[in-house]
């Protein structure tokens, strides 16, 4: 049984903006820290101590450590045919809308899935309450699922950009 608050947030993005993905292509001669800054990743959770890696010929991965044993990790596959970004964190928030907004504004996906896990001690309350409203003006929620387990609950939302 959990005796402290616990949340995990996952944002899985596809159909990413080609201009944003250019930061992660043709990585020859680039440093990971330069791409972290140029893409705006450093502004998502500014307190994170980031260790990033660029891949040749393209791609990016980062892990960030935050106070109180919190972390953030991002992986980018930039190829236009199958662009994909994953964002994961265990950062505690009462309201996740600001964090989600930063992630979505950074990568500009055409579609994304958000999954939030929370236990009974989580600052956000239940995951369902935290994702109750669609908080992104230019995205429409296509689907929402909620599941209750013994020690935690999870909510899944599927979003698509409105054109």
| Three-state SS sequence of the chain | CCCCCCEEEEEEEEEECHHHHHHHCCCCCCCHHHHHHHHCHHHCCCCCEEEEEECCCCCEEEEEEECCCEEEEEEEECCHHHCEEEEEECCCCCCCHHHHHHHHHHHCEEEEEEEEEECCCCCCCCHHHHCCCCCCCCEEEEEEEEEECCCCEEEEEEEEECC
pTM for the complete prediction? Answer: 0.89
Q: Where are the domains of the chain?
A: 7-161
Residue 1: band (very low, low, confident or very high) from pLDDT cuts 50, 70, 90? very low
Mean model confidence pLDDT for the chain: 87
Greater model confidence, 99 or 4: 99
What's the pLDDT band for 145 if we cut at 50, 70, 90? confident
Greater pLDDT, 118 or 52: 52
The average pLDDT across 125-129 equals: 61
117 or 6, greater pLDDT: 117
Q: What is the mean pLDDT of residues 126-147?
A: 74
Q: How confident is the model at residue 121 (pLDDT cuts 50, 70, 90)?
A: low
pLDDT band at 26 (very low <50, low <70, confident <90, very high): confident
Is residue 92 a contact partner of residue 84, using CB atoms and an 8 Å limit? no
CATH 3.60.90.10 fits domain 7-161: yes
């Amino acid at each position: 049984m959990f005796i402290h608050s616990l949340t995990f947030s996952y944002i899985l993005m596809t159909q990413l903006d080609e201009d944003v993905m250019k930061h992660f292509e043709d990585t020859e001669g680039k440093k990971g820290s330069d791409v972290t800054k140029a893409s705006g990743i450093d502004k998502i959770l500014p307190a994170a101590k980031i260790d990033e890696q660029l891949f040749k010929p393209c791609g990016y991965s980062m892990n960030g450590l935050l106070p109180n044993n919190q972390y953030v990790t991002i992986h980018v596959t930039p190829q236009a045919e199958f662009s994909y970004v994953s964002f994961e964190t265990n950062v505690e928030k009462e309201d996740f809308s600001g964090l989600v907004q930063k992630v979505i504004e950074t990568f500009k996906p055409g579609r994304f899935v958000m999954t939030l896990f929370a236990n009974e001690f989580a600052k956000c309350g239940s995951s369902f309450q935290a994702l109750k409203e669609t908080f992104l003006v230019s995205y429409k929620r296509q689907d929402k699922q909620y599941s209750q387990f013994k020690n935690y609950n999870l909510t899944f939302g599927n979003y698509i950009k409105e054109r």
